[in-house]
Amino acid sequence: MSVSKLGKKYRVVVSKTIEGKRRRWTKSDFSTKAAAKAWEADLLAKLNSGVEIDKTRVLFTEFYDDWLERHLESGIKQQTRLNHLATQKIVHEYFKNVKLENLTRRRYQKFLDEYAVNHHSSTVRQVSMRVAMPIKEAFSDGILSLDPTHGAKFKGAESKAGELKFLEESDLDKLLEYIQNEPITPAHFAIYTAALSGMRAGEILALTLKDINVADKTISVTKTKTNRPPYEYTTPKTRKSTRVIAMPDRYFIQFERFLKAYPKLEEHIFGEKTTQSVPSHYLRKMIKELGIKPITLHGLRHTHASFLISKGIDVAYVSERLGHSSVTITQNTYFHLLSTKRNSESDKTLALFDD
């Protein structure tokens, strides 16, 4: 073992006999002697603990590809698969020629900062979560002695209240009244369901007659329909996405209209071939006719949640109704609305003591 200076850089040479063979590792681009000795100590620690050093010498892109191939074969859902494949392209774009052994916290943070320039912080978090999966696995397996993703900071534009698109209560009322007064169609009823339930589009398109309980006035969410071919019915997004949603009386009035208009429904009431583009198309037409601000089908989910929060409904119940995996997700998504409500509650509290 030795550390020597070559010009302005320091060089490390480590030799060790492994399984009867003399092995040698050399690295010579250290700016300081301290950095060279730190690398030497880290390498020796790995060698003494039995870590397969050669695994850290591969390009991170190769390591990621190998991990992803195994992960895709583990039975993950189609949308999750597509998300990982999209992330794979990002890894290849930002980590060209970066070896796994050189993937430091500084290098990983640099990637996040660069990616954040043109993306929202929520997107940066999601991408980081997927990129970090094989890295954390390498750390757990002892291939990496440090987790370069630990303590990562997420920049990027924050989602503003105006960017989290939802309808104001008056516009929501216009939309609901429009559907109630027009001839009912599958697209109309899907939009109506989205606005009054807060369900995800895929969950709505997966509904069967058995899922809508008129007696109990509920909708059971037990499956979702993928939005890309081949279209499949799978389990909901998270464990807590399987839920029972209480629905208002007005919903079942429209459900009765829908059944009368379409007495011979398929098992899935919106049809096997219907995709999210169909109700989305009709929603755009309605919005244009009503003269209200543009909103997407997913935006109706935000509208539903925002309406409940504005009316003082407990965030834990809103989270349960939306099928979020945790209350924290709901709090983070609707942070600005909750902050406004919190300020209002603060004013009420102070007023009590000023009386």
What digits encode the pLDDT tens for the residues 230-248? 788 998 888 899 999 999 9
Cα angle 341, 251, 267; round to 5: 125
Single-letter amino acid, residue 123: T
Contact predicate 205/190, CB 8 Å: yes
Q: How far apart are the first and last CA of the chain?
A: 77
What one-character-per-residue DSSP string does 20-88 give?
TEEEEEEEEEESSHHHHHHHHHHHHHHHHHT--HHHHTSBHHHHHHHHHHHHHTT---HHHHHHHHHHH
For residue 59, which amino acid is it? L
Domain 60-140 has CATH 3.40.190.10: no
As a whole number of angstroms, the distance between CA 104 and CA 144 comes to: 10
Indicate the range of 54-58, 224-228, 252-256, 338-342 predicted with least confidence. Answer: 338-342
Measured distance CA(270)–CA(212) in Å, rounded: 13
Q: How confident is the model at residue 155 (pLDDT cuts 50, 70, 90)?
A: confident
**For the whole model, what pTM was predicted?**
0.64
Q: Locate 23 and state its tokens.
A: 């092995």
**Residue range 252-262: mean pLDDT, rounded:** 97
Read off the tokens for 193.
Answer: 């369901």
Helices marked H in 98-248 = 105-116, 121-140, 169-181, 186-197, 201-205
Instruction: Quote the pLDDT of residue 148.
Output: 94
pLDDT of residue 162: 42
Where is pLDDT greater, at 151 or 76?
Answer: 151
Tell me the residue type at 54: D
If you search the block for the tokens 């499949």, which residue do you land on?
232
d(CA 205, CA 198): 13
Specify whether the backbone of 227 is left (phi greater than 0), alpha (psi in -120 to 50) or beta: alpha
Do 223 and 233 touch, CB atoms closer than 8 A?
A: yes
What ranges do the domains of the chain cover? 2-50, 60-140, 169-345
3-state SS class at 243: strand
Residue 163 pLDDT: 54
- pLDDT range class, residue 344, cuts 50, 70, 90: low
Mean pLDDT, the chain, whole residue set = 87
The token pair at 39 is 């690398």
Q: What is the C-alpha to C-alpha distance for residues 165 and 161, in angstroms, rounded to an integer?
A: 8
Would you state the pLDDT for residue 40? 84
Question: What CATH number does the domain located at 169-345 have?
Answer: 1.10.443.10
Burial class (CB in 10 A: 0-12, 13-18, 19+), 283: buried
> In sequence order, which residues have a C-beta less than 8 Å from that of residue 284 and are 6 or more positions away?
294
Residues 6+ apart with CB under 8 A from 205: 190, 225, 268, 270, 274, 275, 276
Give the model's confidence band at 348: pLDDT under 50 very low, under 70 low, under 90 confident, else very high: low
Closest to 277 measured CA to CA, from 206, 208, 201: 201
